[in-house]
Amino acid sequence: MERDKRLILSALSHGAIFFSATLVAIGIPIAILFLSKDPVVKANARESLNFHINLYIYAFIFVLLTFVLIGFPLLVVLGLVSFIMPILAIVSVVSNPDKPYSYPFIFRIIQE
C-alpha cells in the first residue's frame, strides 16, 4: 500500500495545476510536503512547487513584455509548457514511483 500512496501523492503534487491555476495549485503540494514523511513524495512536492513558482514568475515577466508585443507569443508558449510538463511529470511518476521527477530548466527556489 505504501507504494500506491507514494504514487498517488506524487502524481497529485504534479497534477495540482490542473485543478486550478491559483493558490490551489500551490496549496496541494504544500499540504503534501508538510503532511507526508516519504522522502520521494516530499521531493516531488518540492519540485512541483518550484515549477509552479517558476510559472508565476515567468507569467508576470511575460505580461510585462506584452507592452512591447513580444509577451503574447511567450505567454502562449508558457501556457503550452504549463500543460505539457505536468503531464510528463505524472507519466514519469506513474512509471517509476520510487524516483522523484525533476523538471528541466527551472530555478529551484525551495530546497531541502
User: 71 CB contacts (<8 Å, ≥6 apart)?
Assistant: 62, 63, 64, 65
CB-CB neighbours of 76 under 10 Å: 11
In a domain, 100, yes or no: no
Query: Which regions of the chain are under pLDDT 50?
Result: 1
In a domain, 51, yes or no: yes
In a domain, 12, yes or no: yes
Task: State which H helix or E strand residue 76 sits in.
Answer: helix 71-95
pLDDT at 1: 45
The candidate with the shortest Cα–Cα distance to 55, out of 91, 80, 28, 73, is: 80
Single pTM value for the model: 0.89
In a domain, 107, yes or no: no
In a domain, 105, yes or no: no
pLDDT at 111: 85
Number of domains observed in the structure of the chain: 1
> What residues make up the domain containing 65?
3-95
In a domain, 111, yes or no: no
In a domain, 67, yes or no: yes
pLDDT at 21: 66
pLDDT at 17: 83
The three-state secondary structure class of 51 is helix
Task: State which H helix or E strand residue 33 sits in.
Answer: helix 23-35
In a domain, 22, yes or no: yes
